[in-house]
Amino acid sequence: MNEHPHSLSMSERADRLEEEKMHEMERIITRSTLAHLMDGNVKMDTSVEMRARYPGKFFLMGDDPRLPRMPEKPTLVDYFRHRFASTAHLLQSATHALKGGQPEKVVLACLLHDIAIVSFIRCDHGYWGAQMIEPYVDEEVAWAVKTHQALRFFPDESVGYGYPDLYKQLFGPEYRPEPYIVEEYNRARAHKWYMTSRLICVNDIYSFDPNAKVNLDDFVDIIGRNFKQPKEGLGLDSSPSAHMWRTILWPTRFL
């Protein structure tokens, strides 16, 4: 390599650095197609191309050495500590619900309502989050997490909830939810658990205080009583959503 390093652009230098780091790694780390799509590229890491680039190496089939180590039998709390990129919003929402005297079911729903965003994916986060927790929580909690995604966009004056100002700032004043969200809202409005999901929104909106003191330890007992931790470890069990937790545990496994 004989080009002068200063002749490289920032992103070329970043790529080169990544490449160098990868050569130091023992295993080849691949990115899923979804990660490439998120970069605006319809492409995939193929085994032929990757093996040619890193000759003599095997693909990663377990822990990603770049990520914090997880215990052998991870719990929900371990995911909070080592995989969720940010927990302040969830803890603030749950703290608000707790201080407001809400039942544990609602507190748990607030604590988990955006876990998809902080650990996995933004698009349709309510649906993803609900599927992740469904096997482990009361049906009502998973339902509330799923539908908060739609309810967020619709006011309910009876509980003092208006369309969030923040959404006007984030999405522009013209944004209107897609038809599937409107339909979800209409179904939820008529559902017996409507208010549980609505309470996620009510506690959500006040939960952006940067000075609020929050601590996961305050919720460990509530999690213990209301989240059925699998004995094999969350993600290493055989529940219908275990694979989602495993993907968060091992996001760069080749298969």
Which stretches of the chain bind Fe ion, using CB under 5 A? 114, 204
Q: Which one, 114 or 134, has the nearer CB to Fe ion?
A: 114
Strands 27-28 vs 58-59: parallel, antiparallel or unpaired: parallel
State the Cα angle at 131 between 125 and 137, rounded to 5°. Answer: 115
User: What is the rounded CA–CA span in Å between residue 73 and residue 75?
Assistant: 7
Which of 197/252 has CB closer to Fe ion?
Answer: 197
Residues contacting residue 98 through CB under 8 Å, at least 6 positions apart: 107, 218
Q: What is the largest CA-CA distance in the chain?
A: 69
In the bound complex, what is the minimum distance in angstroms from residue 167's beta carbon to Fe ion? 11
Question: Structure tokens of 116?
Answer: 């998809």
Nearer to Fe ion, 75 or 197 (CB): 197
Q: Output Rg (C-alpha) for the chain, integer angstroms.
A: 21
Q: Which stretch of DSSP H or E encloses residue 34?
A: helix 33-38
Choose between 136 and 153: whose C-beta lies nearer to Fe ion.
153
Shortest distance, position 67 Cβ to Fe ion, whole Å: 24
Rounded alpha-carbon distances, angstroms, from residue 94 to 70, 110, 204: 24, 5, 9
Q: What is the nearest approach in angstroms of Fe ion to the Cβ of residue 82?
A: 21
Q: Which is nearer to Fe ion, 150 or 242 (CB)?
A: 150
Q: Is the Cβ of residue 156 or residue 232 nearer to Fe ion in the bound state?
A: 156
Q: By C-alpha distance, which of 109, 84, 95, 83 is closest to 217?
A: 95
Minimum distance from residue 95 beta carbon to Fe ion (Å):
13
Sign of CA dihedral 4, 9, 10, 16: negative
Smallest gap from residue 187 Cβ to Fe ion (A)? 18
CB of 112 to Fe ion, least distance (A): 10
Q: Which is nearer to Fe ion, 122 or 243 (CB)?
A: 122
What distance in Å separates the CA atoms of residue 181 and residue 177, rounded to the nearest whole number? 6
Alpha-carbon gap, residue 169 to 89, rounded angstroms: 18
Q: What's the min distance (Å) between Cβ of 203 and Fe ion?
A: 9
